[in-house]
Every structure is written in structure tokens, then in C-alpha cells.
Amino acid sequence: MLGNEEQLQAAVAGRDARFDGWVFLAVTSTRIYCRPSCPAVKPKREHQRFYASAAAAQDAGYRACKRCRPDASPGSPAWDWRSDVCARAMRLIGEGVVDREGAAGLARRLGYSLRQLERLLVAEVGAGPAALARAQRAQVARTLIENTDLPMGQVAFAAGFASIRAFNRVVAEVYACSPTELRAKTRTRPAGGGAITVRLAYREPFEPSNLFGHLAAAAAPGVEEWRGGAYRRTLRLPGGPGIAALTPGPGYVEARLRVADLRDVTAAVARCRRMLDLDADPCAPAEALAGDGVLGPLVAKTPGRRVPRKADAPEYAVRAVIGQQVSTASAATIAARLAERYGETVEDPDGGLTRLFPDSSALAEADPADLPMPGGRKRTVLALAAALAEGRVELGPGADWAAAREQLAAVPGVGPWTVEMIAMRALGDPDAFPLTDLGVAKGAASLGLGAGKALEARSQSWRPWRAYAVQYLWAATEHPTNRTPAGPARNDDQTREKASA
């Protein structure tokens, strides 16, 4: 994970923000750890130590820098573009699994013994699951301390601490001040009205147009909406329903969260980050695509495109099937009808959200008459929902991507396009490539890149970042999904021939 020592030294000397979240600089003379880009005066080389995670630095006795706030840096991109057991474990830890089920529960989910998993994570990131979860609890606690007026006891409970004593001790160790002192120093004001506002960091460059354009264009009324410059949607969280409102800002995305159970803040933040691909390293796909004579200039013109995903992988899988061979508007309308019929109700004091998208168990029992689509697609929707409900298809953050592809392909009616779209938009596979997608075909044709086998052959040079190449192919033709909406989204104005959302 840490890489070449000379490269790390150069990153620190140049205050290279591209390394933030990849590696953490600890200073032995001050016992503080920082981002590589920290503006503070750099220590002498003999006082520098490098760690692969904030948890590892904290475990070694270092405190977070108050100037660059290294624990709030974007997560390592490795956990997004890898599917090995360590990457899957890190994604699950980010969802708060250790807080809810313990380290042993995490190991069981992954099919490993706790001892094996501990050894793998320590070798990879310098800390075991308990230490990684502890660091995450500290970060969540600071978020709640600084962005809400909740009593400290509720903050401790919401952040996942087992006791007030543990909460006070960890905050003091990580931030060198008490929770009360930390709140007194904050310059932000609580959002009020029961909402929690969090700033989601990302690595520059960052192009938000296709992200928010896709999410708004495919929004299912009642489940999602574009309102007041924000993409808003309901979330199915472990402790109950939630609502997230995501607004692109200068250097961050603002997330305004409402949760039924404060312990779900961790999971809500993790899902928002994954939905917007905020932990990506935009330089890696840019370098891979730069050598292509056609895509290279497009990447240079609009750098930092991310892959728009969905917050709920099973939901997206079902909606991908619904969207086969129909317009984005039609697919969104069908999804809204299913939510109205089978989804749980949600109260939204800030907008027009009314329902959660129904879970797989509810959809598996749906009346085929409620599915306004051809008979073959009805059977596919019901079969996929049953497979998801029964665990025969696993698409969560801990899923093995190769196994998930095989499981999906075994569902009658789920073909290559659907598998690739789910791999890209739900699993987060950066090399997913829906070759037969109409938007991909139109974009490739407009750029003179060919089609079919010719395009497949051309795409081999884009690996392992073909999902990012898809964003430039989609953007090659004019469509509302390619730009951030200027006002409230209107699903009836969007007419993409095949849903790719």
C-alpha cells in the first residue's frame, strides 16, 4: 500500500494532494499525523513515518493534525477498484458492520476466521478491524460534535461507542481535546431541524455534471428528486429509513442527512460517498485513457468524470432489469409505481420524498399485474428479487465481483448488458463495460470508434478503467444526463431510448 519511499518523500515535499487518503505522514517529534498535502512546515526526514491508514497512525500513538484534518481525507481508492478480501472488508467497515456485528461478524460475512482477517488487514493497512472501526468512530463522533447540537451522550451512542468513558478517551487521544472543547472550537453551525450536514471530501479534479445529471434524470418520483440544487433520495439503513440531500459545492459535496437512528450516520455517509464515487483517484483513469487518440483529448478537456452509482445495490439491480429496452423516463415511472405499491412510507419535512424503494423480499412477492412490462421481463424481475432475497445473488459492499457476475448471469433474463450495468453502477467495478448499451454505441459512433467487436477490441487499451471511458462515451452526445439540472428535474422530459441509470 505504501509504495516507494522516494515517491512518498516527493509527495510530502510537493504537498501532493493526490496522495491524501492513500498514505498518512506521522511526525515522531510532535506525535501528530497529517495528510501529505498538509500546509504545515514539513519535518526533517528522520522524523517522518508513513502509515497506510489513519487507524494505523492512531494505533501507533499519533494524534490527528488540527490543521489538515487527515482523518477526514477521501478514503483510499484501492477499496473502490479492488475486490479482494481486504477491499471488501474495508467497504464493510465503512458501512459500520463492525459497530453492529463486531469484528467476528465482519469475518463471518467474508468467510474468514477473525485471526486470518486480522492478519491480512494488518499486513495491508497496518491495523486490524477493531482499530479501523475505532478510527471511524472517532471521525463520526467529530462530525456529530461539530455539526449538531446533540448532547454528548447521544453523540457517543450514535458514533458507536460502548460507553461515555470510551468516547471521551478516544476523542482526547485522537484530537488532543475533550468533546466539549472540540465543539467549542467549531466554526460551523448545526443544520437544525433534526438534519446533520456533512462535507464529503474528494480528490481533484472533480466533474459533477454527469454524476448529478444521471441521478436526476433517472429519479423515481417519491424515492428520488432534484430540488433546490440538490439530488435527494430515501435510504434504506440498518436502523430505519433515512434521507440524503447531496449538493455539489466548492471542493466538497454537502450531504444533508436525516436518519431514524443516529447510529446509521456512518452507513449513510458511506453510501453517499460510493454513490458519487468520491473516493476515486481521478488521475489513474485519466492516465490510462490519455493514450487513446480519441478519448485522450476529451479527458483533457473535462477531467475528473466519476461513475454515477446507486446508494442501494439490490435496488439498482432490479431497476436495471426494469429499464431494459425502455426510456429512462418510463423506467423511473415504473420504479415509482412499485415504490408506491410495495415500499415503506417515509416522512420528508424538506421536500417531496414519500417512499423507500421496496426491498427484495417485498418485490419477490409482488403481483405480476403490478409490473407494467412484457411477460418475460416480469419473470426476470421476480426471479432476480427472489434470488436477492434468498441470498443467491450478493451485491452488497462485501460482495465478490466475479461471483456476483456469475450469480447474476444465472438468473433467467439477465443478459450481458444488465450484468455489466449492475457491475458498474451497483458493484462499483471500474472495468465494467456495457458494450451493447445504446448510449455507449451512439457515443462511440459519433467519435468514430466503431461498434461491436471493433469497439470491444479498442476498449482493451482502456482497461482496467473502462467504466470511466463509458462516461466520456455517454457525454459525446447531447442528453440531460450529461449536465447538472438547472432546476427541478422533470422525468417526462427525459427520453433516453435505453435506461443506463
What positions carry a catalytic annotation?
34, 437
Rounded Cα distance, 279 and 76, in Å: 6
Q: Phi, psi at residue 455, to the nearest 5°?
A: -70, -40
434 touches 470 (CB < 8 A): yes
CB-based burial of residue 41 (10 Å sphere; 0-12 exposed, 13-18 middle, 19+ buried)? exposed
Rounded Cα distance, 466 and 453, in Å: 15
11-12-17-18 Cα dihedral, nearest 10 degrees:
30
Cis check: omega of the bond before 485, within 30 degrees of 0: no
DSSP state of 463: T
Which residues, 6+ apart, have CB-to-CB distance to 391 below 8 Å?
A: none
Interior CA angle at 309 toward 304 and 310, to 5°?
150
Q: Which amino acid is at 1?
A: M
The backbone region for 186, taken as left when phi is positive above 0, alpha when psi lies in -120 to 50, beta otherwise, is: beta
140 touches 158 (CB < 8 A): yes
Please, what is the angle between helix 97-110 and helix 85-94, to 10°? Answer: 160
Q: Which three cell numbers stand for residue 22?
A: 492513500
Kindly write down the DSSP assignment for every residue of 361-427, as one continuous string: HHHHT--GGG--S-HHHHHHHHHHHHHHHTTSS--STT--HHHHHHHHHTSTT--HHHHHHHIIIII
Rounded Cα distance, 234 and 218, in Å: 14
The backbone region for 176, taken as left when phi is positive above 0, alpha when psi lies in -120 to 50, beta otherwise, is: left
Burial of 351-378, coded b for 16+ CB within 10 Å and e otherwise, reads: eebbbbbbbbebbbebeeeebebeeebb
CB-based burial of residue 447 (10 Å sphere; 0-12 exposed, 13-18 middle, 19+ buried)? middle
Cis check: omega of the bond before 221, within 30 degrees of 0: no
Rounded Cα distance, 399 and 382, in Å: 21
Which residues, 6+ apart, have CB-to-CB distance to 362 below 8 Å?
A: 342, 343
